[in-house]
């Protein structure tokens, strides 16, 4: 299989590209993996790296023509809530127009697409959302991600669209909530943990494996892909502290209403994944086992190895 990963310098894309050859993807153990980066430099022998601004005219067409992928995992996005609010045009280009173009090219034949979306398409007033529930995005990021889902589904009904939430180690050390808790706690910095914001994050390495299994099974359409257990952001921070033997008293339990966050966020982003569990024939990995593996990866030098890729 030839696997093309867009956003390969990002939190999901990098870990997914690294996991590809560790997976039992379609019964094969070896795949040709090609990762696309844009502004970041990435040095690795684990997969081929291509630098491309996918918003440049003709860049996407030429990339696909050159790489001839069997599967494309679209992890490129503008995924930072505040940046989307500040640059709504860029958010639209990356989160809506790029996926639409990708799905349109893929629908002509030759490749299959896995497009990544987010739990944030919901307003988080109720929680326990299933795929059929009505989305109600609250900010530019969420609105553009929902529009991206719709654009992909229209252009390529065979695409997998995965609504995810994730944590893990990243190239920059700054892309996930777990990294944020870890880096503040290790420096002894006091921080806030929201007691009234809930989510169901999955370790990015586990998430990658689930996405590969979905692809191997030939699934299509919209799926929720999240941890079967959920927690508050505060509870997650305390668990990170305890996992690393750090002082959880540095985390103050507060309401999000006490924070200085400017962009409105959904408070209860808990997803039900029954559709996927049924399709896979077994349970999904939960965040607690993911956190143990997050720690194990750290102990094995994975964190530093990722940072070294940025040199």
Ligand X SMILES: NC(=O)c1ccc[n+]([C@@H]2O[C@H](COP(=O)([O-])OP(=O)(O)OC[C@H]3O[C@@H](n4cnc5c(N)ncnc54)[C@H](OP(=O)(O)O)[C@@H]3O)[C@@H](O)[C@H]2O)c1
Residues at the contact surface with ligand X, assessed by CB under 6 A: 6-13, 36-40, 53-55, 75-77, 79, 94, 116, 118, 145, 164-166, 175
Q: Which residues pair with 251 in a beta bridge?
A: 191
Reading the block at residue 243, the tokens are 């996992």
Least separation in angstroms between residue 8's CB and ligand X is 6
Least separation in angstroms between residue 29's CB and ligand X is 25
Answer yes or no: are the C-beta atoms of 269 and 125 closer than 8 Å. no
Least separation in angstroms between residue 254's CB and ligand X is 20
Reading the block at residue 234, the tokens are 């505060």
Helix (H, G, I), strand (E, B) or coil at 123: coil
Nearer to ligand X, 79 or 246 (CB): 79
The radius of gyration of the chain from alpha carbons, rounded to an integer in Å, stands at: 18
Q: How far apart are CA 149 and CA 11, in angstroms?
A: 20
Nearer to ligand X, 77 or 273 (CB): 77
Least separation in angstroms between residue 12's CB and ligand X is 4
φ, ψ of residue 142 to 5 degrees: the values are -65, -40
Least separation in angstroms between residue 217's CB and ligand X is 21
Reading the block at residue 192, the tokens are 């806030």
Q: How far apart are CA 200 and CA 287, in angstroms?
A: 7
The residue number with the shortest CB distance to ligand X is: 10
Please give the C-alpha separations between residue 45 and each of 18, 49, 58, 308, in angstroms, as whole numbers: 10, 9, 27, 12
Least separation in angstroms between residue 42's CB and ligand X is 7
Least separation in angstroms between residue 116's CB and ligand X is 4
Least separation in angstroms between residue 299's CB and ligand X is 23
Q: How far apart are CA 93 and CA 238, in angstroms?
A: 37
Reading the block at residue 151, the tokens are 């654009």
Nearer to ligand X, 75 or 111 (CB): 75
Nearer to ligand X, 161 or 249 (CB): 161
Query: How many of the other CB atoms lie within 10 Å of CB of 233?
Result: 22
Nearer to ligand X, 181 or 281 (CB): 181
Nearer to ligand X, 86 or 247 (CB): 86
Nearer to ligand X, 165 or 245 (CB): 165
Nearer to ligand X, 25 or 199 (CB): 199
Helix (H, G, I), strand (E, B) or coil at 246: coil
Q: How far apart are CA 305 and CA 244, in angstroms?
A: 19
Q: How far apart are CA 177 and CA 189, in angstroms?
A: 15
């Amino acid at each position: 299989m030839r696997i093309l990963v867009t956003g390969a310098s990002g939190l999901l894309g990098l870990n997914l590209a690294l996991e590809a050859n560790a997976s039992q993807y379609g019964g094969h153990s070896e795949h040709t993996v090609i990762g696309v980066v844009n502004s970041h430099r990435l040095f690795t022998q684990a997969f081929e790296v291509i630098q491309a601004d996918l918003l440049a005219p003709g860049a996407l067409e030429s990339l696909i023509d050159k790489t001839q992928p069997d599967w494309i995992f679209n992890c490129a996005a503008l995924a930072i809530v505040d940046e989307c609010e500040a640059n709504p045009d860029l958010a639209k280009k990356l989160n809506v127009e790029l996926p639409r173009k990708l799905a349109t090219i893929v629908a002509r034949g030759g490749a299959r697409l896995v497009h990544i979306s987010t739990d944030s398409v919901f307003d988080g007033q109720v929680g326990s959302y299933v795929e059929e529930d009505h989305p109600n995005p609250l900010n530019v990021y969420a609105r553009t991600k929902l529009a991206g889902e719709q654009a992909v589904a229209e252009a390529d009904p065979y695409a997998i669209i995965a609504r995810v939430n994730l944590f893990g180690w990243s190239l920059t050390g700054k892309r996930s909530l777990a990294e944020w808790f870890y880096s503040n706690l290790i420096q002894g910095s006091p921080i806030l943990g929201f007691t009234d914001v809930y989510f169901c994050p999955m370790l990015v390495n586990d998430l990658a494996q689930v996405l590969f299994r979905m692809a191997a099974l030939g699934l299509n359409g919209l799926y929720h892909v999240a941890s079967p257990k959920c927690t508050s952001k505060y509870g997650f921070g305390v668990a990170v502290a305890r996992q690393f033997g750090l002082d959880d008293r540095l985390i103050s339990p507060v309401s999000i209403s006490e924070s200085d966050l400017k962009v409105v966020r959904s408070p209860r982003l808990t997803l039900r994944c029954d559709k996927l569990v049924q399709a896979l024939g077994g349970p999904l990995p939960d965040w607690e086992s993911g956190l143990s593996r997050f720690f194990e990866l750290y102990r094995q030098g994975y964190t530093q190895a990722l940072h070294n890729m940025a040199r």
